[in-house]
Each structure stands twice: as structure tokens, then as C-alpha cells.
Amino acid sequence: MDTVVASIGGSILIPRSGGAGFIKRLAAVLVEASNEVRLFVVTGGGWVSRYYIDLGKEIGAGEDALDDVGIDPTRINGKILIMALGGRAHGSIVLDFDQAVEASKGGRIVVMAGTRPGQTTDAVAAQLSVKVKADRFVNATSVDGVYSDDPAKNPRAKRFPNMTFKELFEMCGGIEHKAGPHVVVDARAVDLLSHAKIKTIVVDGRDLDALRGALVSGECRGTVVEG
């Protein structure tokens, strides 16, 4: 049985309105996938984290305090996902990698969230992937792959069906520069995944057929990063 770690962006998990129907459908896909693979999920904070981080910034808080308020929504989102997964999930959020391994032993889906300041949940998911020797890392986000430019702004942007870690890492370097391409996986996560040679798939998490394919077989519309 393959081991798969999925990083699910908060913006996918918690849309601004009408989220319950989607979360139930998403949970059904995760449960279905967990019959075929050993599954770990890490939940992001999305717009809820960004809302509190912006509020904290206006108040004048420092970086660690801002990260701290960003982390809490990732955990709330994880709890909501656990509710939707019902008995198929380990019953609480896990914040320690050894505990995640332990909790997965009964065959349940293990849900993790933000662990400490200074990173994003993609980095948590990458660290977890290394720990559990994942066969695949699935980044479920709001675009259907890695593009040559921001597809929301440039209609000519091209999606890469495949790319190497080196190519993705070079694009991540670009996020520091405002004019750089739109990159959907965080650089620290790419570095960890690249060193551990863990096949990485960027997929639109709202497209549940694509997500199912990415989780179960690694075959789907998206971008596959390896080599």
C-alpha cells in the first residue's frame, strides 16, 4: 500500500461561504482514497489565517505572533475536516510527527496542521512526507498545476504537466521578486521533497476527480514534479 501525504490549502477546505457540501464531498474522496493508500492530511488556514495575520499586522504585532495567529485557523480547519471524516479519521489533530506515525497504525486517516512559527503547512506536510517515507506528496491547491506565469493574470500562461525539482525550486526563488511566476508550493517544502526524492503532485483540490487520481494512483490533471 502506498503512503500518501496531502497538503490541503485552507482556501480549498474553507471557502468564504457554503462550505459544508464541499467538505462532505472532499471527505468522501479522502475516505475512498484511504481504502487504497495509507493517508495523511495536513490542513492549511487559507483566508482565515490571512485575515488574522493582516489584523495583527495593523495592530503592530511581530512576526512570531503573526505566525501564531496564522497557525490557529489551520488547526480549526483540521478539526472541521476530522468531523467530516467521522470514524475514518484519528479523532484529534496531531502536532507531532512520531505521534502521526503511531496514530496511523490503526489504518485511520491522520490529520495534522500548523506546528510552529516560521513556515507554512506545506512545510509541515513535506516534513511529514520525509518522516513517513511517503510515495507521493499531493499539494491540493486552488490552481490545477504549476504555470509559467500567474494564470489569473496572464491568459497565455502555460501549465507544466511535468517538471523537475530543480525547475520548481528555481521558480520558487522567484516568489521573492514581485514579477516572478505564480508558485504554489513553498520553497522550504520543495527543498525537503527534492532531497528525499518524493514524487510531488500539484492538483486543483476543488476538482475532486483530479484529487482522487492524485491520491490513489498519482495520475491526474496537474503538475507532477520528480527527478
Q: Which residue is nearest to ligand UTP (CB)?
A: 44
Assess contact for 224 and 200: CB atoms under 8 A. Answer: yes
Compute φ and ψ for 153, nearest 5 degrees.
-105, -30
CB of 7 to ligand UTP, least distance (A): 7
Nearer to ligand UTP (CB atom), residue 58 or residue 156: 58
Residues of this chain that interact with ligand UTP (CB under 6 A) are 9-11, 44-46, 49, 53, 67, 70-71, 74, 114-122, 124
Our CA angle for 127, 53, 19, nearest 5°, is 75
Nearer to ligand UTP (CB atom), residue 10 or residue 218: 10
CA pair distance 98, 104, nearest whole angstrom: 10
Our CA angle for 208, 214, 215, nearest 5°, is 90
CA pair distance 104, 101, nearest whole angstrom: 5
CB of 8 to ligand UTP, least distance (A): 8
CB of 66 to ligand UTP, least distance (A): 6
Q: Give 108's DSSP letter.
A: P
| Cell numbers that stand for 127 in this block | 516534513
Nearer to ligand UTP (CB atom), residue 122 or residue 204: 122
CB of 174 to ligand UTP, least distance (A): 16
Nearer to ligand UTP (CB atom), residue 2 or residue 61: 61
Nearer to ligand UTP (CB atom), residue 60 or residue 118: 118
β-strand 136-141 against 223-225: which pairing, if any? unpaired
